Amino acid sequence: MKICAVELKSNEAIICLLGLDKGLFNVPECRARKLSLNHGHSSKSLKAFQAEFIKLVKDYHVDKVVIRERPMKGKFAGSAIGFKMEAAMQLAEGVDAEVISTTDIKESLKRQPVEYSMKDLGLKQFQETAFATGFAYLNRK
């Protein structure tokens, strides 16, 4: 199973591809580490973001997209643009997307902690939360 884990921050979707095959994890190379939505108020740019995301999912044969849940209120609440991006990903044709709660992520990581650094995995430090989201999703089953 290959998944695309997503963390939404401001107007960016930080992504990390993860695979699980016969109990072994892998982190395949990906041409993009993050996708940006420029001009979040424009439907044209939102459609372009969605098309770019769909192309990435199809090019890498992703089975599932896992999006980290963000609070709607409070200090760490997501932005309006972030929620638009989340909706664009969830409603994208041919994309199987699921939102995973931070509680589920924490519980899964408690049972099965990550034992490698992002550098060891070939990822950038800013992708750590997206990786943890995907790792937790694959381990919770």
pLDDT for 87-99, tens place per residue?
A: 999 999 999 999 9
Round to whole Å and give the CA distance between 87 and 108: 25
How much is the pLDDT for 60?
97
Residue 46's SS3 state is helix
Please say whether the beta carbons of 136 and 104 come within 8 A: yes
- Is residue 22 within 8 A of residue 60, CB to CB? The reply is no
Q: Which residues contact 133 (CB under 8 A, 6 or more apart)?
A: 5, 6, 7, 16, 66, 67, 68, 100, 105
- The closest alpha carbon to 127, from 29, 56, 55, 37, belongs to 29
Q: How far apart are the first and last CA of the chain?
A: 12
Question: Sorting pLDDT into bands at 50, 70 and 90, what band is 35?
Answer: very high
Q: Quickly name the fold that domain 2-140 has.
A: Nucleotidyltransferase; domain 5 (3.30.420)
pLDDT band at 141 (very low <50, low <70, confident <90, very high): low
- Structural domain boundaries in the chain: 2-140
